[in-house]
Amino acid sequence: MSSSSFATSKSTGRYEYGEWIPVKHCQCGQELKLLTTWKQENCGRRFWKCVGSQWSEGCGFMEWFDPPMCKRSKKIIPGLLKKLNGYENHIHTLELKLEAVEKPDKTNDKMEKIEHKRYPCTRLVTCIIIAFVAFVSM
């Protein structure tokens, strides 16, 4: 963690989730990026980081954007995220199962259409064979 400072530009920024997020620049001149950590101790807490640009890595400056969380939040949030991820995985699994159940129905519809087209041909061939046999046996 570097001890660099940063400058805030009050005229620029973005409105995100009900709050104004300013654009900040590091002492090295790079724009700071607002990131979120998902590590258990600070899960969901945002921080400013100098990540540099396409051509440079940045100076490594880091500063917390959000205040520290209370002990209770640090315990509860990871469990809630785990539950949420479990529910999302379960929903995805159910969507795949539903898709698998619906696909055979579409296949059956196609098969029925093919069979409807096939039966008139079969009847026609049967009629021709009967007529031919009747004609030959005369």
- The model's pTM: 0.49
3-state secondary structure of 124: helix
Specify the pLDDT at position 73: 84
Examine the pLDDT at 1 and tell me if it is beyond 60: no
Q: Of 36-45, 76-85, 123-132, where does mean pLDDT reach its minimum? A: 123-132
Distances (CA, A) of 119 to 80, 107, 112: 59, 18, 10
Average pLDDT of 59-67?
Answer: 87
Examine the pLDDT at 114 and tell me if it is beyond 70: no
The band of 98, judged by pLDDT with boundaries at 50, 70 and 90, is: confident
Please choose, from the candidates 130, 2, 133, the residue with its C-alpha nearest in 3D space to the C-alpha of residue 62. 2
